[in-house]
Structure 1
Amino acid sequence: MKPNAAKYLWISAVFFLVAAALVAVYFQNGFGAFDRAGFDLAEKVRSDALTSMLAVLTALGGTKPVVALSALLVLWLYKRGYRREAVIVTMILLGAACMNEWMKNLFARERPVGQNLIARPDSFSFPSAHAMVSSVYYAMLASLLPLLVPRHWTKYIALLLYLLIVVIMASRVYLGVHYPSDVATGACFAAGWYFLFRCAWSKWGEAGKASHYPTFASARN
């Protein structure tokens, strides 16, 4: 195994272990104080303007937008010849989504009541799919930017994508449709899946050195 692949695999394992520890806490004692503190903080910073903005941005982490954007990314990679990357992205997203759905149904935690500023989704709450699945997609997209845009834009767009991840996760608590512990646990699982993606990309990806190229076209020539 390549050194980078091994490093990413270890990091992934650490995040999965932290996530598993959070699940154990949920089973044993719950997150009462942590969840209350998160909702208290959300109430302190609440405003009409912020609520309107987060109600729009949180939709970018929804199932339909993420599925559509993921399909576009996979098709683009496949058509451009990066077929291994297309397969890796697909497998990681499917893995994260299936794990999230399985865990939601296993734990069957009801969503918060009385905190919501938008309609409460019908699905269960723990862990947050916005934190666990959409975060993986946007983080992978940030890593793949050297294949998509000129090099001098990658760091700025990547920063915006990472900021979007944070905002989407925070919005779920702010809007009252997830407990803070749902988001924290989902985020740890997301990090585990993301570094598993980095491991697979480093080991099997055809564009492992893509970050050294300013544009996709120059990487292929």
Structure 2
Amino acid sequence: MMKSMSWRARVHERFGARLGLTLFVAVPAAALAGLLAVAVESAWDPFRKLDQNTASYLHDHASGHPLVIRILARISDVGGPTPARAVVALLAVVLWVRGARRLALWAASTMLAGAVLDGGLKTLVDRARPHLPNPFAHAPGASFPSGHAMTSALACGIIVLALLPLLGRKGTVVAWTLAALVVFAVGYSRVALGVHWVTDVVGAWLLAVALLAASVSAFQTWRVEHGRRPAHPVTEGVEPEAEKVLHLDSGVVKSGHAGSGR
């Protein structure tokens, strides 16, 4: 009986966290994004009507309010792919310099995978962008998925998951809440400005969730294989031990830290 319990405990420790993330988050989110891509490519009528009605409503609502349009444009600019990738790149550099090198590689590789996925799906689906009267903004390229929505969601997720070891319980709640608000604001701005359909944004969010879950799952696999306990990413980050090198008062980077990943 003890041997059976020990075996089950080892299996749960080795596979539990990554299987949970993969089976219950990454796979469903990716599947829903795939179904959504097929639906929009085939111009499925319910989604077509949803997109057109939402685009028209938000466009009409913003018309005649120059301040609202300027705010939406600023949100879209600040939350665009270039600023988001720059912030994550800076984070990766800081993590690397302070000794959290595995964490730095995780952040950079996840963001890079997002860029590749976004470009590949845009080419594959090749969906036309909205054509509205008196558009507030213009954007080149295909529409699905929204690069702004996907990149901002990935960036916010990466930043929070990397820095959670520095936050307490209240800080964790605040961080996730702020991240959600930023992601929603960027996605909303893209639809309200008339450069994306609402399904472009929803699809981008689903893809970001799937990619984040898959990358965190892969990182957890590395942790277990190197003798570390499975982390609880949503509450303690992907690398809880990184707290030792992330604190601003930790001084010069020290070799051999548990969070260094060397």
User: Is the shorter-chain TM-score for this pair beyond 0.5, marking a shared fold?
Assistant: yes
Shift of 1:197: 2.7
- Map of 2:34 onto structure 1: 20
State yes or no: 1:8 paired with 2:21.
yes
Q: Percent identity?
A: 23
Aligned with residue 110 of structure 1, among 128, 139, 142: 128
Residue pair 1:145, 1:154 contacting (<8 A) in 2 also: no
Aligned with residue 131 of structure 1, among 149, 172, 189: 149
Residue pair 2:79, 2:152 contacting (<8 A) in 1 also: yes
Structure 2 gap segments, 5+ residues each: 1-13, 229-236, 251-256
Between the aligned partners of 2:129 and 2:30, the Cα distance in structure 1 is 24
Between the aligned partners of 1:18 and 1:150, the Cα distance in structure 2 is 32
Shift of 1:189: 0.8
Aligned with residue 197 of structure 1, among 215, 219, 224: 215
Q: SS at the partner of 2:217?
A: helix
Aligned with residue 240 of structure 2, among 210, 213, 217: 210
Q: SS at the partner of 1:114?
A: coil
Q: Which amino acid aligns with 2:20?
A: K
Residue pair 1:139, 1:162 contacting (<8 A) in 2 also: no
Aligned with residue 34 of structure 1, among 32, 35, 50: 50
Between the aligned partners of 1:183 and 1:12, the Cα distance in structure 2 is 18
RMSD: 2.7
Shift of 1:212: 10
Per-residue CA distance 1:173-220 (angstroms, 9 max, x = gap): 001011112112111111111211331333335874529969933996
Q: SS at the partner of 1:136?
A: helix
CA distance 1:208–1:106, change in 2 (3 Å):
closer
What's the TM-score, normalizing by structure 1?
0.86
Q: Which has the higher contact order (CA 8 A, sep 6+)?
A: 1
Residue pair 1:100, 1:129 contacting (<8 A) in 2 also: yes
Between the aligned partners of 1:113 and 1:29, the Cα distance in structure 2 is 15
Shift of 1:112: 1.5
What's the TM-score, normalizing by structure 2?
0.74
- Map of 1:181 onto structure 2: 199
- Map of 2:254 onto structure 1: none
| Aligned residue pair count | 219
